[in-house]
Amino acid sequence: MSETTAAQELVITRVFDAPRELVYRAFTDPDQLAQWFGPVGWSVPRDTVDIDARVGGHQRFTMVNDADPSMTSPADGTFSEVVENELLVGYEEVKGVPGFPDGTRLTVRLEFHEEPGGKTRLVLRQGPFDPAVRADAEEGWGSSFTKLDALLAR
């Protein structure tokens, strides 16, 4: 990987206090994704979520700002690799998003690793990002993962 590519990629490692199958399902089950995805202050209405977790399948949803529902952020990704309970890789062609030239292919790779004590280590890689946008994405994922922690604790 080139230095430029590494600088543009966001990498987050997080350990969740839940088995790998449950963490994986939180990303692939529409009912669960709607309960946790999006940073604090944003929600994902269940009726906007459509997930087909297979190679060539898709993940579509719309984040809605809680304070101003006219502010939305739709996502329409395609899965390029899927290994149940282990790996999700996908991409989205970005259009009309501040900080991204139209047509940018934003990729995300989610690795689900078993950890002792029934825990799961998630490794997320996403990019490419402009450095300022990468910082916002990292903050957004961290906030979303706090919501995911609460869902997994139920």
How many domains does one find in the chain? 1
Mean pLDDT confidence for 129-149: 93
**DSSP reduced 3-state for 116:** coil
Residue 35 has a pLDDT of 97
Nearest C-alpha neighbor of 83 from the set 61, 105, 47, 110 = 110
Global confidence as pTM: 0.91
Tell me the per-residue pLDDT of 46-70, one tens digit each, with 9 for 90 and over: 999 999 999 999 999 999 999 999 9
CATH of the domain at 97: 3.30.530.20
Position 7 pLDDT exceeds 70:
no
d(CA 40, CA 144): 7
Residue 97 has a pLDDT of 73
Mean pLDDT confidence for 17-35: 98
Residue-range definition of the domain harbouring residue 44: 3-153
Percent of the chain with pLDDT over 70: 95
- Using the structure block, give the residue that is written with the tokens 């297979």: 54
Residue 96 has a pLDDT of 72
Residue 4 has a pLDDT of 45
Residue 59 phi, psi dihedral angles, 5° rounding:
-135, 115
**DSSP reduced 3-state for 129:** coil
Position 6 pLDDT exceeds 90:
no
Under the phi-then-psi rule, with left for phi > 0, alpha for psi from -120 to 50, and beta for the rest, what region is 74? beta
Position 142 pLDDT exceeds 90:
yes
Tell me the per-residue pLDDT of 63-99, one tens digit each, with 9 for 90 and over: 999 999 999 989 999 999 999 999 999 999 887 777 7
CA angle 12-132-96, nearest 5°? 100
Mean pLDDT confidence for 123-147: 93
d(CA 76, CA 54): 15
* Mean of the per-residue pLDDT values of the chain: 93
